[in-house]
Structure 1
Amino acid sequence: MKQKSSSREKASPSRLQRELSAGIMDLIRSEGLAPGTRLAEVALAERLQVSRTPVRAALKLLATSKLVRAGKHGGYFVTDAVAASHKALRQPAPDNTDRLFLAIASDRRAGRLPDEVSEHDLMQRYAATRPVVQRVLTKLAEVAAVQRKPGHGWRFHPIFMDEQARHESYRYRLMIEPAGLLEPGFRLDPAWAADMRRRHEEALTMPWNQAATIPLYEINAAFHEGLAAASGNRYLLVAIQQQNRLRRFGNYDWTFGHERVLVNSREHLAILDQLEAGQHEAAAALLRRHLESAAKLRHRWPSAATD
């Protein structure tokens, strides 16, 4: 009996445990969680769209690698090893959910995916587990990219293939984002600004490959959402968060290349420079020019712009 128990304990982690472990690490890094931060199982389960039991197993797996630690009175906490691994891996690989999201976006744009699919179809086509497929479909449903059909299957909406919709999105953002920098309650969080500066400076030196489209988009989304949050206007923040969710499906499939990475990063840093100097009018003008440039690039190369 003891031998059987020992063999079970030494069994290799399941595919789901590995996927959730990677997802937890991505959340820790993307949100900049400091060593000692408690990792709440309920919150993680909600973010990763699973129950608490597999999350607990994934945290236990991470603890064996000393990427998280078990607390004396229960629970798990971020360790110093996470910060060290983040520095060593300047461009962490996307998890399976992001890879599937990117693959679906690419195949939809190329016309390789039909308008209607089932979970089983996607599992077979992409050799993905059901939990990963379900998480991706949930993310797509949140931004109205897909809708569950009555009874069985999912249907893609055509709005994300519509160039007019993209144009309207930029016009909408041009109306509200620069204005947010001029709100009377605008307050730039120094810690957020420092983190954004660090991430953009890293992006300038990051080696380029197709998988970089995902972390690149997330940096862009975090920048624009952070500016909206700094405005002090909650309605503006909600509007930009919704825009970011809508743009994820189209912008994860981004193929323009490294040059646009450099342009985006430098323009964002220039906006930060003006805001930190208290020059809000100048920052708003730069943000307007930045969005106008991205909109023109999107018109010429539909899969090129990230902002």
Structure 2
Amino acid sequence: MKQKSSLSSRTAPSRLQQQLSADILELIRSDAMEPGTRLAEVALAERLQVSRTPVRAALKLLASKRLIQRGALRGYFVGDTTAPAAKAPAKPVPEQTEQLFLAIARDRRTGRLPLDVSEADLMQRYRATRPLVQRVLARLAEVAAVQRKPGHGWRFAPSLADADARAESYRFRLVVEPAGLLEPGFRLDPAWASEMRREHQAMLEQPWSETASIALFEMNAAFHEGLAAASGNRFLLVSVQQQNRLRRFANYDWAFGHERVVVNCREHLAILDQIEAGDRQRAAELLRRHLESAAALRRPPGNGRKSS
């Protein structure tokens, strides 16, 4: 038994544990946590968007290195000698992450990036550090744009790769999505509607930049999925979710400028207005017009694609 315990203690921490350890130290620094502050697993898991199990392992790792303190009875706390963030592995800055995220999406959409890739491939192609590549792959995995292959490497999910497929997608959505607003079980969640209004207003007010196209698509996808969820029809929701997965790479690089962003947001808000006013028939008509308008957009040569 002693031999087994010794071997276990020498097991190297996983890549995820190392990354979460760095993230926790960064949170301690950015939040200016005082010594003695409790590091609650649940709160950390929510902020880092992972389950409690890897957070618990990361806290244990930090405590073993005396970067945080283990409580006398249970739990972990910020210590008097908690190492500053500078001693943690360097984290990619947000702008670098967004730029690489967008570059990978664009190259995959245009066929310059193969279906199967490895971290080393991406590091060499984009002259990026391993932590940066790992962070972008993790984000792509979160939105089901890539999945890890058994053993080694990553594989991109299928996407709408040509004009015919995109046209079919919009025709399908025109059949399904407006009908969802007229389902007998339709129920709009007021909290979701309020959050959508807040996000759309923020998108209208923020300065436009190339990397904002990622947030734009995810906001749009959440809007259409939210309406599908409100329909109460599980099959309709699954269909819209699948369309968003297929559309993701084709829509990350926006080619129509801030003016079209404004139109897109205002059309979404107008649909919400009619639903909340109780006129779902009118809302369905506006949704149909919104999809028809997006389907009619044409991508400028050498630039991005439409999003709705």
Confirm or deny a common fold (TM above 0.5). Answer: yes
Show CA shifts across 1:26-74 (max 9, x none): xxxxxxxxxx994363993369xx94467659999xxx9xxxxxxx975
User: Cα RMSD (Å) of the superposition?
Assistant: 4.2
> Structure 1 residues 117, 286: CA separation in 2 closer, same or farther (over 3 Å shift)?
same
**What residue identity is the alignment partner of 1:121?**
D
2:135 corresponds to which residue?
132
Maintained 8 Å contact 1:174/1:288: yes
Q: How far off is 1:163 after superposition?
A: 1.7
Give the helix-richer structure, 1 or 2. 1
Matched ranges for 1:231-246 at <5 A: 231-246=231-246
Show CA shifts across 1:262-298 (max 9, x none): 0101100110110011000000000000001101115
The question of 1:265 aligning with 2:265 is answered: yes
Q: How far off is 1:157 after superposition?
A: 7.2
1:44 corresponds to which residue?
49
> Structure 1 residues 114, 267: CA separation in 2 closer, same or farther (over 3 Å shift)?
same
Q: Which residues of structure 1 form unaligned runs of 5+?
A: 1-13, 25-35, 65-71, 77-92
> Structure 1 residues 198, 41: CA separation in 2 closer, same or farther (over 3 Å shift)?
closer
Question: Partners of 1:158 and 1:129 in 2: how far apart?
Answer: 25
Greater mean deviation of Cα atoms: 194-203 or 283-292: 194-203
Q: Secondary structure at the match of 1:260?
A: helix
> Structure 1 residues 73, 280: CA separation in 2 closer, same or farther (over 3 Å shift)?
farther
Question: Partners of 1:134 and 1:173 in 2: how far apart?
Answer: 29
Maintained 8 Å contact 1:123/1:133: no
Question: Partners of 1:96 and 1:17 in 2: how far apart?
Answer: 19
Maintained 8 Å contact 2:299/2:306: no
> Structure 1 residues 189, 115: CA separation in 2 closer, same or farther (over 3 Å shift)?
closer
Identity %: 56
**What residue identity is the alignment partner of 1:41?**
A
The question of 1:304 aligning with 2:308 is answered: no
Question: Partners of 2:245 and 2:54 in 1: how far apart?
Answer: 23
Q: How far off is 1:190 after superposition?
A: 1.4
2:165 corresponds to which residue?
165
Maintained 8 Å contact 1:97/1:135: no
> Structure 1 residues 138, 193: CA separation in 2 closer, same or farther (over 3 Å shift)?
closer
Maintained 8 Å contact 1:39/1:75: no
Show CA shifts across 1:206-250 (max 9, x none): 101111111111211111111111111111112212222222222
Give the TM-score normalised by structure 2: 0.66
> Structure 1 residues 102, 20: CA separation in 2 closer, same or farther (over 3 Å shift)?
farther
Q: Secondary structure at the match of 1:45?
A: coil
Q: How far off is 1:111 after superposition?
A: 5.0
Question: Partners of 1:287 and 1:167 in 2: how far apart?
Answer: 17
**What residue identity is the alignment partner of 1:132?**
R
Question: Partners of 2:266 and 2:292 in 1: how far apart?
Answer: 15
Q: How far off is 1:117 after superposition?
A: 3.3
Q: Secondary structure at the match of 1:39?
A: helix
Matched ranges for 1:148-227 at <5 A: 148=149, 153=153, 159-227=159-227
Greater mean deviation of Cα atoms: 180-189 or 93-102: 93-102
Matched ranges for 1:15-34 at <5 A: 16-17=19-20, 20=23
**What residue identity is the alignment partner of 1:176?**
V
Maintained 8 Å contact 2:148/2:155: yes
**What residue identity is the alignment partner of 2:199?**
R
Q: Secondary structure at the match of 1:207?
A: coil
Structure label with greater radius of gyration: 2
1:277 corresponds to which residue?
277
Q: How far off is 1:155 after superposition?
A: 5.8
Maintained 8 Å contact 1:254/1:303: yes
Question: Partners of 1:99 and 1:56 in 2: how far apart?
Answer: 31
1:120 corresponds to which residue?
120
Q: How far off is 1:136 after superposition?
A: 5.2
Q: Which residues of structure 2 form unaligned runs of 5+?
A: 1-16, 28-39, 68-72, 78-92
